[in-house]
Amino acid sequence: MVSLQFILDTMIKFNKSLSKIISDLEESSPILKNSLLEISPVNFCINIKNHQNIYIVIDRDNSNILFEEIEHQFEINGSLFELLKVVITKKIDKNVVKGDVEMAMTFFNIIFNSNIDLIYLIDKYFGSMPAVFTLAVTQRLFNTSLVYDDIEYRNIRKRLRDISIRLDRLEVIR
């Protein structure tokens, strides 16, 4: 039998993880924080087919992730592939959303227009090789280009990647 302390410890870890994820998202997109503050609190459910529902609350510093049902403004339904396609292509099918569609579309527009650098986040959490692989796969699968319009921004990102690769090589040599 699972102890109450184990459940509480697990929930605390999830909450810290969500706070860390939101912080990293804000780091990869400086305009995201102010935009989320404008619409907070946001409560929604992610319903991935054949998985347990995930309930997310974004409310300034009191963001939370839960697996117990809570009152929520909208629900996002779909398979994992459908939801990844929404994130990568930044195009949402309104059939995926149930509930307060207006709030959901506002939330998605904030996320999509904040230019979150997914490749940066993958590189940060999983390393350079998975980031390069993800970039190649997403470009092939969805016929999208994640290349940024701003040439100066692309050059800075390229230099940062080059530095990251050099640091990885130095760590291997040590």
- By the 8 A CB rule, do 110 and 39 touch? yes
How high is the pLDDT of residue 146?
47
Please, which residues bridge with residue 55 across strands? 45, 66
- Mean pLDDT to the nearest integer, 71-90: 85
- Mean pLDDT to the nearest integer, 142-160: 63
Closest CA to 28 of 108, 102, 112, 117: 117
Higher pLDDT, 27 or 113: 113
Q: What is the DSSP string of 90-142?
A: ----GGGEEE-HHHHHHHHHHHHHTT--HHHHHHHHH-HHHHHHHHHHHHHHH
| pTM (two decimals) | 0.59
- Mean pLDDT to the nearest integer, 85-92: 79
Strands 74-78 and 42-48: parallel
pLDDT tens-digit map of 13-38: 656 666 677 777 777 777 777 788 88
Q: 105-138 in b/e burial notation, b at 16+ Cβ within 10 A?
A: ebbbebbeebbbbbbbbbbeeeeeeebeebbeeb
Tokens of 127: 């390393």
pLDDT tens-digit map of 120-147: 788 888 888 888 887 777 777 666 554 4
Rounded (to 5) percent helix, strand, coil in the chain: 60, 15, 25
Whole-number Å distance between alpha carbons of 159 and 165: 10
How high is the pLDDT of residue 98?
92
- By the 8 A CB rule, do 118 and 124 touch? no
